[in-house]
Structure 1
Amino acid sequence: MKEGSHVDRASNQLLLSFCKDYFSDEPFGYISHRLNSYSVDPTVYMDAGSHPGLKAIAVVFDNPLIKSNVVLEKQFFNQPFESFNSVDEAKKWLSELLIK
């Protein structure tokens, strides 16, 4: 995401549509590597939680200010949602979760 952008329900629907086309109903996880600062409408996670294939979300960040946003966002998603310090940690967690 570009610095300062905002993810709203309309832009999230576009992402979910892409995921439906790409993954069909196969289980997958989403990794958000938050290199830039941007905002997310937390209600997008309610829509994301209804996607048949999306099983988990991992957020990777190194800026402690982002942590409070992640704590809030996590409350709106009804699937596993964790934060990590590295992409490798997030990939490992998702891989283990999706194998189960």
Structure 2
Amino acid sequence: MTAPPSAPAERFQSFGAFYPHYIHEHSNRTCRRIHVVGSALVLVALVLGLTVNAWWFVAMPLIGYGFAWIGHFFFEKNRPATFKYPLWSLMGDWRMFFETVTGRRKF
């Protein structure tokens, strides 16, 4: 019996192998859009942390993960990859964000 794409039987050996799984876990357009908005707001919080108040740095993970998890729990209806692959999931978030804002991936 083989594992479904959302639950790989073994750990990925590289980010290149992980990213197609990550994209599959973001099939829902609303979930992807919420991720992109959340990532953009993380960048805003970064700028605010550098220019206004350092407390904005605390908000960065709350904003980023908050938006992403809402997208997964309410729209994608799956478990965020962050729980099993925290670093690669973070890398996937930013790759998907930059692919989207540069027009390589549909918003």
Q: Which has the higher strand share?
A: 1
Q: Which has the higher helix share?
A: 2
Q: Greater CA radius of gyration, 1 or 2? A: 2
